Structure 1
Amino acid sequence: MLSAEEALDRLKQGNQRFVNGETYHPKLLTHQQRAEMAGKQSPFAIILGCSDSRVPAEMVFDQGLGDLFVIRVAGNIVAPSQVGSVEFAAESFSCPVVVVLGHSHCGAIHSTIEMLRNPDRPPSPNLMSIVNRVRPSVEILMQTELKDDLEKLSQHAVRSNVFASVNQLRHGSAVLENLIVQGRFTVVGAEYSLETGEVTFYDF
């Protein structure tokens, strides 16, 4: 089993290959390879990322089928179902790390900013359930000078939202807290750049 440091290093190396256009994981598997994977899985890392179609975790980190346990939801938010999914992978597969992966130009961030600027035009109740989880990360920034610069506000909000999700995973689950205390699990934050393809890891 990989340590959290080894798992993160594997992700970083894969992302560097992706940025350089030197990916080596096959896009297609043989029938035999698929059949061999049908009985079990052993992902080495968990990725909690955004549903954005431009941020597929396996491609971004140049990993193959079965390498990553990927949870995708708009805004890379943390709700009970996401926490439960992380707990499942951490306990069932001994994954040593979960990466909360935000990205530039996030639609959930933009929707939240738009709602805060125009509260009289709220989104649908279902979309609002996502916005409400992103909202605290954006509201605090809108009380600063960033409120007058939409681009900078969005950039800072992406990172703030990643931090909030990291914090929720670290302190919102007795299962994960116990694994962290035992030194068996790590929660980290990161941001993917749509412009460059590079993933920046944060030390929160």
Structure 2
Amino acid sequence: MTAEEALSRLQQGNERFVSGLRSIETMLSHTKRAEFIQGQKPFAIVLGCSDSRVPAEIVFDQGLGDLFVIRVAGNIVAPSQIGSVEFAASKFNTRLVVVMGHTDCGAVCATLEEMQRPQEQQSLNIKAIVDRIRPALEPFRHTELWSRPDELTRQASRANVRASVNQLRHSSELLERLIEQEGLAVVGAEYDLDSGKVEFFDD
């Protein structure tokens, strides 16, 4: 399946989710468990946030074996996430990678709070997540958005997604080769908690 075909399938699935519908194939996918014992062939890779309100399989109305999902707070990109994407893209010939953030992301909000009011007692592990998000948000310090919390949070979440997309595109020789030679596409998206709609970014 090409990246374009995979993207279209995700968009159609999200439209069903927003409409409160589910495909028959999705509902019956659990009956095909035996088919996946020997292997898998997911048509898309989704690097998403760990937030319990944003499970990729559900918001895209996909079933067992359809998606290779990597979830981490703030949909950040660290070596383990890059390695997971490399594995799926090369092992299963999956040609679409989606970095999916969401509105009101707790990890992004925590990063903005840390930038405004540093916490001396913050867990080192949480700090590691904040430190990966922070560079994408630093440019907002010197804009009018810094004094508009709601819009700042929205734009910060999108900037964080775009930063993760950029890292995947340019931090791996393997992924760069697949992009240049074999049609791999890495795109950003945002899930809206209010509407249930996933918006894919133009770039």
Same fold flag (TM > 0.5): yes
1:183 CA displacement: 3.7
Question: Unaligned 5+ residue runs, structure 2?
Answer: none
Partners of 1:5 and 1:90 lie apart in 2 by 15
Partners of 1:120 and 1:85 lie apart in 2 by 32
1:162 maps to what in 2? 161
| Residues 1:122 and 1:140: Cα distance change in structure 2 (over 3 Å) | farther
2:74 maps to what in 1? 75
1:39 CA displacement: 1.6
| Residues 1:27 and 1:135: Cα distance change in structure 2 (over 3 Å) | farther
Instruction: Spell out, residue by residue over 1:150-203, the C-alpha distance to the aligned partner (whole angstroms, 9 max, x if none).
Output: 111100001100110000001000000001110420100000000000000002
1:3 maps to what in 2? 2
Instruction: Spell out, residue by residue over 1:110-156, the C-alpha distance to the aligned partner (whole angstroms, 9 max, x if none).
Output: 10011111114452100000000100111211221111111111000
In the alignment, is the contact (CA less than 8 A) between 1:42 and 1:93 conserved in 2? yes
1:184 maps to what in 2? 183
Letter aligned with residue 34 of structure 1: R
Letter aligned with residue 104 of structure 2: H
TM-score by length of 2: 0.96
- Name the structure where helix makes up a greater proportion of residues: 2
Question: Which deviates further from its counterpart, 92-101 or 181-190?
Answer: 181-190
User: Paired residues, what number?
Assistant: 201
TM-score by length of 1: 0.95
In the alignment, is the contact (CA less than 8 A) between 2:46 and 2:69 conserved in 1? yes
Instruction: Spell out, residue by residue over 1:68-118, the C-alpha distance to the aligned partner (whole angstroms, 9 max, x if none).
Output: 000000000000000000000000000001000000000000100111111
Partners of 2:7 and 2:60 lie apart in 1 by 10
The answer to whether the aligner puts 1:37 opposite 2:45 as a matched pair is: no
SS in 1 for 2:63: coil
Runs of 4+ in 1 over 2 A off after TM superposition: 27-30, 120-123
Partners of 1:27 and 1:122 lie apart in 2 by 48
1:197 maps to what in 2? 196
Partners of 1:54 and 1:38 lie apart in 2 by 29
In the alignment, is the contact (CA less than 8 A) between 2:29 and 2:64 conserved in 1? no
